[in-house]
Amino acid sequence: MPKKKIQNRIEYICFKIALGVLKILPAKASKSLLKGLFWFGGQVLGIRKNIALIQLSKVYPEKSRKEKIEIIKKLYRNMALSVYETYLLDDDMLYKNIRIQGRENIDKALSLKRGVIFATAHYGNRTQPLLNIGASVVAIEPQKKCYEYLEKKFGNAIQLVTKGLGEKEAIEDFYVASASTISSFSKDWIDAVKQERFKSYTWSAPVKIPITTLDKLIEKYGKPHFIKIDVEGYELEVLKGLTQAINWISFEYTVPEQTQKAIDCILQIQKFNPNIQCNYSIEESMEFALSSWLPADAFMQHLSTQEFMITGFGDIYIRTTL
């Protein structure tokens, strides 16, 4: 077995053992211990630390090593919180820990009997809070092990579409990763991130997956109030399959590798909805980074700043203005 695969297997086994221990601890204790483990792994053992320093040096060549280390500490903390929310919180606990910004917009959508489209749903950790407040959810997930989990967890509570999304109906190549969170239809995105960001992961030979479009989903299920897109580099192609204005849209971004792709996504949305404002959330923070929403032109300028480049990844939010 290649050395890299052995390393990945060992890391996976250690991760599963750690999760087993954390699950038997009280929630606050497991959260604190998890943050400590990520700090120890990153700062003491140096896991992925050199990769992070290399990436930060490309974006912030003028910053000192000390400043970059401080940034990395925050990144490891956010990674710990993401693991805590995904693997250790049950649905009730997760819902209690979420603050929904713009709740009034969701309530308005519910009063109009409009729902939410998730592309892709993955394991549904953003689905349950919306179901809890009465939203109708259409979830799109092409990965078999993920949509089987969603079927088991949510049953008839959601509308589950076991296809991919793109510009037009077709059959496309889908690359399944050793971590399901980074499987993708986008070969360009995979080629960009496997050099450094995800170089310890592998992608299988492509499998054929049927593609539908957002417009087709709207024809079948009705026009939603909010569309969330998380498709690992395939966001622009998904948005090209939407030819109408939606009140709220979010899509994932990855910088610095795909800064231009994020700009192209905003321009694509503007074709059918020129009256928009923009904001973003960093990584899995679920909080808006900007205190005020920006017009599209000003926001696209913000995307090229060092302040934004250092964020690495997150979600860009687009809302309609009157």
Q: Give domain limits for the chain.
A: 3-88, 95-320
Give 164's DSSP letter: E
Q: For residues 74 and 39, is the Cβ–Cβ distance under 8 A? A: no
Q: Which residue has the tokens 């239809």?
A: 185
Q: Which helix (H) or strand (E) holds 173?
A: strand 170-174
Type of residue at 297 = D
Helix (H, G, I), strand (E, B) or coil at 176: coil
Taking alpha carbons only, the member of 222, 204, 206 closest to residue 214 is 222
Taking only the tens place, the pLDDT of each residue in 270-314 is: 999 988 999 999 887 778 999 999 999 999 999 989 889 888 889
Residue 192 makes CB contacts below 8 A (sequence gap 6+) with 233, 254, 257, 258
**Which residues are registered as beta bridge partners of 71?**
none
Alpha-carbon dihedral of residues 282, 284, 288, 294, nearest 10 degrees?
Answer: 50
Taking only the tens place, the pLDDT of each residue in 237-270 is: 999 999 999 999 999 998 888 899 999 999 999 9
Structure-block tokens of residue 242:
């939407």
* Edge-to-edge order in the sheet of strand 137-140: 159-161, 137-140, 116-119, 226-229, 248-254, 313-320, 276-282, 294-295
The CATH number given to 95-320 is 3.40.50.150
pLDDT tens-digit profile, the chain (322 residues): 566 567 667 777 877 787 788 888 887 788 888 888 877 877 777 766 777 777 667 656 777 888 777 777 777 777 777 777 777 766 566 556 655 555 566 566 556 555 555 555 555 556 776 777 677 889 999 988 888 888 888 888 889 999 999 999 999 999 988 887 888 999 988 888 888 778 778 888 889 999 999 999 999 999 998 999 988 889 999 999 999 999 999 999 988 888 999 999 999 999 999 889 999 998 877 789 999 999 999 999 999 898 898 888 899 999 987 5
Residue 236 makes CB contacts below 8 A (sequence gap 6+) with 261, 264, 265, 268
Type of residue at 36 = G
pTM over 0.85: no
Taking only the tens place, the pLDDT of each residue in 27-43 is: 778 888 888 887 787 77
Residue 216 makes CB contacts below 8 A (sequence gap 6+) with 169, 241
Q: Which helix (H) or strand (E) holds 212?
A: strand 207-212
Q: For residues 137 and 116, is the Cβ–Cβ distance under 8 A? A: yes
Start-end of H helices in 84-143: 91-96, 103-111, 127-132
